[in-house]
Structure 1
């Protein structure tokens, strides 16, 4: 049986591209962020939406590698691997980055679909001190946490750029 896996996938999907109870999902929110805002930050030394998206991709890639039993794969917090430097200079680059995020999410779904039953969720993640269920719930929580940051950045720039035409009515 895959009841727990199916519930995790449902939760991931709801938060990533579905209808979350609290508002927009990650992808719905990113659809509202124009590329001209994607590379800006609200305050110096903070992350842009593009950097947050690259960070989400990094940790989804971490989950993918762990689901593939790659015990060598690691990300050092606050490193270049954790927060890749990224510059978005066109709408096309912004779309490519968002497609990479969708591809990483889709790969997690694909790997979970391949699992025969829920038992693997209780297995320890190779090279870590936690099990797969904890890892996958962490990916869900991570998306929600950074969704809030993206929403804050978007709302701040929406106020600043209201009359510029960057945000279409």
Structure 2
């Protein structure tokens, strides 16, 4: 299996359908979360909705680069979640995450393996491989947070 195919598989595992590393994924964890639960703060932790927005923000930003666009995302905006006041708005955020995730994986699969060693936008960001691995690791990090917050909410 090619490097890009393996990376796309790992990415889909954490977001859409995998069980291998964490025995769960974003889609499984978020499937039964109501908009009220998603927007409920537990102590000083980010909300599930904020973490969902945050991961989607980075996925969409990297996908934009994959499509030949500029790197337009900035860390300072990565938690700027618009207010969620309904189930429809929560579903819209989830649908953006699923759509952008599939787009990310599909664009990744279309890259040649040789692209993985190329500079990602600027030298300071490292290679495509570093950024894609980083996106996968970043996703697992926040998946763990979502899983714990979900358990805390269930015990309230």
Residue 132 (structure 2) aligned to one of 118, 129, 136: 136
User: Looking at CA atoms only, which structure, 1 or 2, has the larger radius of gyration?
Assistant: 1
Does residue 27 (structure 1) correspond to residue 27 (structure 2)? The answer is yes
**Stretches of 4+ aligned residues off by more than 4 angstroms:** none
Does residue 88 (structure 1) correspond to residue 87 (structure 2)? The answer is no
1:97 is aligned to 93
1:166 is aligned to none
CA RMSD of the aligned region, Å? 1.6
In structure 1, the gaps of 5 or more residues are: 161-169
In structure 2, the gaps of 5 or more residues are: none
How many pairs align?
154
Higher-helix-fraction structure:
2
Deviations 1:55-87 (A, max 9, x none): 1111012211221233x424332x1x2111332
2:10 is aligned to 11
Deviations 1:112-148 (A, max 9, x none): 2332x20011100112421111111111111101011
How does the TM-score come out when normalised to structure 2? 0.90
2:38 is aligned to 38
1:73 is aligned to 71
1:59 is aligned to 58
